[in-house]
Amino acid sequence: MNTADRNVTAGRSERYFNQTVGFLTRHGISLFGTRILAVRGRTSGEWRTNPINLLTHEGARYLVAARGNTQWVRNIRVSGEAELRLGRSTEAITVTELPDEEKLPVVSAYFKRWGWEVARFFEDLPKKPSDDQLAKVLPGVPVFRIDS
């Protein structure tokens, strides 16, 4: 199998995985803390949803965007608010984006919990990166603390 075929297969696998996780979460089954994040589109105002891994670390909750500056990140930066959904339960939240110098312990905890899933988004990181390795990628990893 050539590289292009592997990339297509990996893309399909990722899409099916996300669809399955999203389906389960929408029906009230959380896998390792998953939620549906609903954020209003910054121009349309319509709700946009994505399955996310909700991290609880040292008594606070965080949203970590392992894929970088995605559409949900751009939308939540504009609005500062969103909803976390699990089944029929909906929680309105507000968020604060962390500066790079505060991200390391949160991103480290995130990788310890979900490195097996998200390491593939970082070509230069192993599944269990050191703090020094993580520090190099922090500028490209948006992190939001949930305030309410």
Full-model pTM: 0.79
For residues 18 and 42, which has the higher predicted lDDT (pLDDT)? 42
pLDDT band at 7 (very low <50, low <70, confident <90, very high): very low
pLDDT at residue 44 greater than cutoff 60: yes
Closest-CA residue to 51 (of 123, 130, 66):
66
Residues composing the chain = 148
Structure tokens that stand for 99 in this block: 């500066």
Structure tokens that stand for 11 in this block: 């893309």
pLDDT band at 148 (very low <50, low <70, confident <90, very high): confident
Helix (H, G, I), strand (E, B) or coil at 91: strand
For residues 64 and 32, which has the higher predicted lDDT (pLDDT)? 64
Q: CA 66 to CA 47: how far, in whole Å?
A: 21
The CATH class, in words, for 3-146 is mainly beta
**135 CB-contact burial (10 Å; exposed 0-12 / middle 13-18 / buried 19+):** middle
pLDDT at residue 61 greater than cutoff 60: yes
Cα dist. 77→30, 52, 104, 115, 142 in Å? 25, 16, 20, 25, 10
Q: CA 146 to CA 138: how far, in whole Å?
A: 19
